[in-house]
């Protein structure tokens, strides 16, 4: 199946399963939808916030919430982190109390952080993540091309979408004051401040003109 057709089929399946999660259906149907999403893994990452809300929902059954937590782990999308932190902050939720150790383990996997079971430390880390705009640069393992991923969104190589989502060697983590360097056929290399919309100064084209070719730090060093 061509890559484009595969992505389209996955998207349709993910959309259908996600829709079932927000409709007034029996738990058995929602559990089946959660298992479909979990089966697609990071390719279904867009569903993570909806799935995480089911885990957070105290009015939901324990079986449904447990399946949601397992799906959150499979989707590997940091956008689920706020719901996990909120649930962990409820001292009067017996289900979360039983699943606390598993939930902290999933937080560590989603974030790449090692903060144990210190909820205050997790909350402080997340607030800092949200406050500071960061992008991470990777180099595709097969094509050698650079690509960027905004934090805290999941790592997924745009040149292998749906097949090898974690492709790529980490090159740099950039923040405010740093620059992305692009090469365009209509102009010389040009710099784009991190966090701003990509716009070629030579042809004024938005989102599409220019190939990401490097970076420069605020202090002047680059790659």
- pLDDT lower than 70: segments of the chain: 1-6, 131-133, 150-156, 158-168, 185, 187, 195-198, 203-209, 219-223
pLDDT of residue 207: 46
CA angle 127, 217, 131 (to 5 degrees): 10
The strands making up 169-174's β-sheet, listed across from edge to edge, are: 146-150, 135-139, 169-174
Q: What is the pLDDT of residue 221?
A: 56
Confidence at residue 155, expressed as pLDDT on a 0 to 100 scale:
65
Cβ contact 187:201 at 8 Å: yes
**Pick from 160, 155, 8: nearest CA to 76:** 155
pLDDT tens digits, 100-126: 999 999 999 888 888 999 999 999 988
Cross-sheet strand order for the sheet of 211-216: 187-193, 179-184, 211-216
């Amino acid at each position: 199946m061509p890559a484009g057709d595969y992505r389209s089929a996955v998207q349709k399946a993910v959309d259908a399963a996600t829709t079932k999660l927000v409709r007034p259906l029996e738990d058995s149907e929602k559990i089946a939808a959660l298992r479909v999403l979990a089966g697609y893994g990071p390719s279904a990452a867009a569903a993570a916030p909806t799935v995480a809300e089911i885990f957070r929902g105290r009015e939901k059954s324990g079986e449904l919430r447990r399946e949601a937590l397992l799906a959150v782990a499979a989707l590997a999308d940091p956008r689920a982190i706020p719901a996990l932190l909120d649930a962990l902050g409820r001292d009067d939720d017996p289900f979360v109390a039983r699943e606390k150790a598993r939930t902290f383990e999933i937080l560590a996997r989603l974030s790449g952080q090692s903060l144990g079971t210190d909820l205050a430390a997790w909350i402080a880390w997340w607030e800092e993540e949200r406050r500071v705009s960061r992008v991470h640069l990777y180099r595709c393992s097969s094509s050698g091309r650079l690509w960027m991923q905004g934090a805290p969104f999941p790592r997924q190589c745009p040149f292998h979408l749906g097949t090898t989502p974690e492709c790529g060697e980490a090159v740099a983590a950039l923040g405010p004051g740093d620059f992305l360097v692009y090469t365009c056929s209509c102009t010389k290399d040009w710099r784009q401040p991190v966090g701003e919309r990509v716009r070629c100064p030579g042809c004024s084209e938005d989102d599409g003109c220019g190939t990401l070719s490097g970076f420069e730090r605020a202090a002047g060093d680059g790659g």
